[in-house]
Amino acid sequence: KQEVTQIPAALSVPEGENLVLNCSFTDSAIYNLQWFRQDPGKGLTSLLLIQSSQREQTSGRLNASLDKSSGRSTLYIAASQPGDSATYLCAVIDAGNMLTFGGGTRLMVKP
């Protein structure tokens, strides 16, 4: 059974810092990996999708990498802003298009 772990569970940083969120998974036979953002009481907003044949994807200040063989993905946020404060979730997607989520990292960026 696939298990997804996100470390750290919570993170507080001052504005302007670069930061890295980690996601690990136990079964490397994944199809894709997707990072989401969730604001309190809201649904999930897709940030980046990395296909299994790719090693990274970039969108603005976000960069996500994927190392299938080691079962790891990282989300890099450059020059963090208070508006980045949210919970960040990673989900691995198997060949049946099923998403398995980690517990999330709650990020707070202080002005």
Partner 1 sequence: DTGVSQNPRHKITKRGQNVTFRCDPISEHNRLYWYRQTLGQGPEFLTYFQNEAQLEKSRLLSDRFSAERPKGSFSTLEIQRTEQGDSAMYLCASSSRGAVSTEAFFGQGTRLTVV
44 is an interface residue for partner 1 by CB under 8 A: yes
34 is an interface residue for partner 1 by CB under 8 A: yes
Indicate the residue type of 79: A
Query: On the CB side of 108, how many CA atoms lie within 13 Å of its CA?
Result: 6
Residue 89 CB, nearest distance to partner 1 (Å)? Answer: 6
Token representation of residue 49: 């999708």
73 is an interface residue for partner 1 by CB under 8 A: no
Residue 31 CB, nearest distance to partner 1 (Å)? Answer: 7
Which residues between 78 and 107 bind partner 1 (CB under 8 A)?
89, 91, 93, 96-104
Minimal CA–CA distance to 87: which of 3, 5, 10? 10
